[in-house]
């Protein structure tokens, strides 16, 4: 049964339902036929008995049994049935089949008993006299509303059975015809439907094999015609989509192949399923598809990156491979359980950065010595000079010389910071102690400008691992800017605990920073108000140094400012550097 087609199963099931339904109708209907035929026969006998009632009474008035016998014999031949008359005592007075003198008393017969009580009734039972099943109908004969006897008519039940059998045969023939017609109609529908299904199956198989050049033959069935139209439209749509996908795939492959970055896609087992030319070039290999990535990328950091890629959203690492410096990123594709590795060869970029840093360092060192000497000579000239105009120019030269010296110092500091990567510091640093050392440095300037200094420090402030000198430089630079750009109001400092570190906020009520400049204030030499910065001796490198020191400690810095309402710098330092 399991190997049969779905349509055959439906056909078989439908035929069973039809047969079961017809069988139910046959049993129910034939039972009703039998009951109806018997009821109709009884009704006929009742009608005829009613017509005979007056004749029976007239025959009885004559006083001669022969008159009664002659009367019932005549009518028995007419209706083709046995007629018996029984008096009130159950004595048979006349019968068309037997001699009444030899017949038993009938008062105990069910139909006679009921009729003597005034009930018109019939009964089907075996006749001991005739030795056959009979249908007995008993009709009470009344004279002046008094029952004088019972007129019983009876017919052989074989006659009823014969009539029922004839009806059954007729109905069976009708049912057989209906069954044959139904099965024929079902088979015709089945074979037509199977033909269409086979046609659609063949078309589907061709489509699955990539053959879209299919013609649909016309069909007379409106339903199948509509289905064919929908199927044809679907195939056209699929063909269009596949063509678009192929085109997009070719375009993507062209783009991937032309990208300078090396790209490798790994499946869930770590095998390489897609690469581009740049990847093969970076790792000096001719083939990579189907091979485990560790056979080609023998870098421990990359293996760790792939191993933990499921828990990483997106991560970059810098690795070295055969004198190359590679920047690698990995992305996890959960839908296909694949990993995408992207390698950028930043060797030249790193070399340029190194050369730039060396140039800055060398130039700074080379300029530092003569500038220091110039400053010394300027101080000597200033001490000996009495001419006011000359002193004015000497002070201007001295101020610019000091600014150049400060710029060189900041450049050297920034260069040293850039050479370092995020570090692990062993020393626990108390930020409160650093602030207690820094605040006195600005006391005179705060009082001179009439500024208030407010601070709120968490009494249970966590300590962090860090370099106290560098952290002190961060807070000096931030407070220096706050004092420099605030003319009135206050400067507030807040130190609070977070669940994984501490947060520091330095806020002032100064002139504020325009929104367009907020994204650039941490760049080197970027100054919002150049005249104010130069007048205050600024180098334009302070905030850049601040950001580098914070990043060195694994922290973050953000700024929020509004013109005329002040600026707030928010710093976060983790409890432990990751």
- pLDDT for residue 368: 64
pLDDT, mean of residues 338-360: 77
State the average pLDDT over residues 519-546. 66
> Could you tell me which residue, 69 or 517, shows the higher pLDDT?
69
What per-residue confidence (pLDDT) applies to 533?
52
Tell me the average pLDDT of the chain.
79
Residue 568 is predicted with a pLDDT of: 92
**Mean pLDDT score, 541-566:** 85
Q: In CATH terms, are 6-163 and 350-417 the same topology?
A: no
If DSSP codes are grouped into helix, strand and coil, which group holds residue 463?
coil
d(CA 60, CA 142): 12
Quickly state the pLDDT bin for 505 (edges 50, 70, 90): very high
Backbone phi, psi, residue 425, to 5° = -100, 130
Compute φ and ψ for 489, nearest 5 degrees. 110, -130
CA 110, chain centre distance (Å): 79
Contacts 24+ apart (CB under 8 A), 71-80: 72/96, 75/48, 79/45, 79/48, 79/153, 80/155
Chain segment 401-421, per-residue pLDDT in tens? 766 766 666 666 666 666 655
**CATH, domain 6-163, list 3.30.450.20, 1.25.40.80, 3.40.50.300, 3.80.10.10:** 3.30.450.20
Give per-residue pLDDT as tens, 473-498.
Answer: 888 888 888 888 888 889 999 999 98
Q: Which CATH architecture has domain 421-574?
A: 2-Layer Sandwich (3.30)
Q: CB of 369 within 8 A of CB of 356?
A: no
Q: How confident is the model at residue 2 (pLDDT cuts 50, 70, 90)?
A: very low
Residues sharing a CB contact under 8 Å with residue 125, sequence separation 6 or more, in sequence order: 110, 133, 134, 136
Quick count: other Cβ atoms within 10 Å of Cβ 515?
A: 10
Separation between Cα atoms, residue 146 and residue 523, nearest integer Å: 134
Q: Output 413 or 462, whichever has higher pLDDT.
A: 462
If 0-12 CB within 10 Å is exposed, 13-18 middle and 19+ buried, where does residue 117 land? exposed
| Cα distance between residue 201 and residue 180, in whole Å | 30
The candidate with the shortest Cα–Cα distance to 434, out of 521, 507, 493, 522, is: 493
Rounded Cα gap, residues 39 and 33, in angstroms: 10
Q: Tell me the per-residue pLDDT of 77-95, one tens digit each, with 9 for 90 and over.
A: 888 888 999 999 999 999 9
Backbone angles phi, psi at 209, to 5 degrees: -90, 0
pLDDT of 140 > 90? The answer is yes
Whether the Cβ atoms of residue 115 and residue 138 lie closer than 8 Å to each other: yes
Q: What is the mean pLDDT of residues 280-286?
A: 84
3-class DSSP state for residue 71?
helix
Q: Which two tokens stand for residue 90?
A: 């159950």
What stretches of 61-162 adopt beta strand conformation (E)?
82-87, 92-95, 121-127, 132-143, 146-156
pLDDT the model gives residue 138: 92
CA–CA gap between residue 302 and residue 320 (Å, rounded):
11
Output the six-digit token pair for 351. 């070399």
Contact 105, 90 (CB under 8 A): yes
Q: What percent of the chain shows pLDDT beyond 90?
A: 7
Q: Is the pLDDT of residue 209 over 60?
A: yes
Confidence (pLDDT) at 149 = 92
Q: How far is CA 218 from the centre of its chain?
A: 40
Q: Can you give the residue ranges of every domain in the chain?
A: 6-163, 259-345, 350-417, 421-574
Minimum mean pLDDT range among 274-283, 416-425, 496-505: 416-425
What does the longest C-alpha to C-alpha distance in the chain come to?
188
Query: By mean pLDDT, which of 170-174, 185-189, 193-197, 412-416 is the weakest?
Result: 412-416
pLDDT tier, 570 (very low <50, low <70, confident <90, very high otherwise): very high
pLDDT over 80 at 41, yes or no: yes
Q: What is the pLDDT at residue 1?
A: 44
What is the number of other CB atoms lying within 10 angstroms of the CB of residue 512? Answer: 18
Residue 374 and residue 362: Cα distance in Å, rounded? 19
* Residue 151: predicted pLDDT: 92
Say how far apart CA 92 and CA 104 lie, in whole Å. Answer: 8
Q: Please report, for residues 96, 393, 540, the alpha-carbon distance to residue 530 in angstroms, rounded to integers and kept in the order given.
A: 146, 21, 9
331 versus 131: the higher-pLDDT residue is 331
Q: Rounded to whole angstroms, what are the CA distances from 438 to 141, 335, 442, 478?
A: 139, 54, 7, 11
Level-2 CATH architecture, domain 350-417: Orthogonal Bundle (1.10)
**224-262: pLDDT as tens digits:** 677 777 777 887 888 888 888 888 888 877 877 778 888
Helices (H), 153-299: 157-208, 222-258, 277-282, 293-296
For domain 259-345, give the CATH superfamily.
PAS domain (3.30.450.20)
Task: Please state whether the predicted TM-score (pTM) of the whole model is above 0.95.
Answer: no
């Amino acid at each position: 049964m399991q190997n049969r087609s779905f349509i055959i199963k439906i056909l078989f099931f439908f035929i069973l339902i039809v047969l079961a339904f017809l069988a139910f109708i046959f049993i129910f209907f034939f039972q009703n036929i039998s009951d109806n035929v018997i009821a109709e026969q009884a009704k006929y006998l009742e009608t005829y008995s009613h017509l005979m009632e007056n004749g029976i009474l007239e025959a009885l008035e004559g006083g001669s049994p022969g008159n009664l016998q002659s009367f019932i014999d005549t009518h028995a031949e007419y209706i083709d049935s046995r007629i018996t008359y029984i008096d009130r005592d159950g004595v048979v007075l006349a019968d068309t089949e037997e001699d009444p003198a030899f017949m038993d008393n009938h008062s105990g017969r069910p139909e006679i008993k009921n009729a003597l009580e005034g009930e018109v009734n019939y009964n089907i039972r075996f006749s001991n006299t005739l030795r056959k099943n009979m249908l007995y109908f008993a009709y009470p004969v009344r004279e002046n509303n008094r029952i004088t006897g019972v007129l019983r008519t009876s017919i052989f039940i074989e006659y009823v059975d014969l009539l029922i059998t004839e009806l059954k045969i007729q109905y069976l023939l009708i049912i057989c015809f209906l069954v044959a017609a139904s099965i024929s109609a079902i088979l015709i529908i089945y074979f037509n439907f199977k033909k269409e299904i086979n046609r659609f199956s063949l078309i589907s198989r061709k489509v699955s094999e990539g053959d879209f050049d299919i013609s649909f033959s016309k069909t007379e069935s409106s339903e199948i015609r509509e289905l064919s139209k929908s199927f044809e439209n679907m195939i056209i749509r699929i063909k269009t989509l596949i063509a678009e996908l192929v085109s997009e795939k070719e375009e993507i492959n062209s783009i991937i192949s032309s990208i300078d970055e090396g790209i490798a896609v790994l499946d869930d087992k770590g095998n390489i399923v897609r690469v581009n030319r740049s990847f093969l070039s970076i790792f000096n290999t001719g083939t990579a598809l189907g091979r485990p990535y560790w056979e080609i990328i023998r870098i421990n950091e990359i293996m760790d990156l792939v191993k933990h890629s499921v828990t990483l959203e997106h991560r970059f690492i810098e690795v070295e491979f055969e004198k190359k410096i590679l920047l690698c990123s990995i992305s996890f594709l959960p839908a296909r359980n694949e990993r995408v590795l992207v390698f950028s060869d930043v060797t030249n970029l790193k070399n340029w950065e190194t050369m730039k840093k060396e140039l800055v360092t060398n130039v700074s060192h080379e300029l530092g010595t003569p500038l220091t000497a110039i400053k010394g000579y300027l101080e000597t000239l200033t001490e000996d000079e009495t001419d006011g105009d000359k002193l004015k120019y000497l002070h201007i030269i001295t101020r610019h010389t000091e600014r150049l010296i400060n710029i060189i110092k900041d450049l050297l500091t920034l260069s040293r910071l850039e050479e370092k990567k995020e570090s692990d510091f062993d020393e626990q640093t108390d930020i409160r102690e650093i602030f207690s050392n820094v605040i006195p440095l600005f006391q005179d300037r705060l009082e001179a400008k009439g500024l208030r200094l407010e601070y709120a420090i968490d009494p249970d402030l966590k300590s962090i691992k860090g370099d106290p000198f560098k952290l002190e430089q961060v807070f000096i630079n931030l407070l220096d800017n706050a004092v420099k750009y605030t003319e009135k109001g206050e400067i507030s400092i807040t130190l609070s605990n977070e669940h994984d570190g501490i947060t520091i906020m330095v806020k002032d009520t100064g002139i504020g920073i325009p929104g367009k400049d907020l994204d650039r204030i941490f760049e080197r030499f970027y100054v919002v108000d150049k005249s104010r910065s130069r007048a205050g001796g600024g180098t334009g490198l302070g905030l850049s140094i601040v950001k580098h020191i914070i990043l060195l400690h694994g922290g973050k810095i953000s700024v929020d400012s509004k013109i005329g309402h002040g600026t707030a710098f928010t710093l976060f330092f983790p409890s432990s550097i990751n």
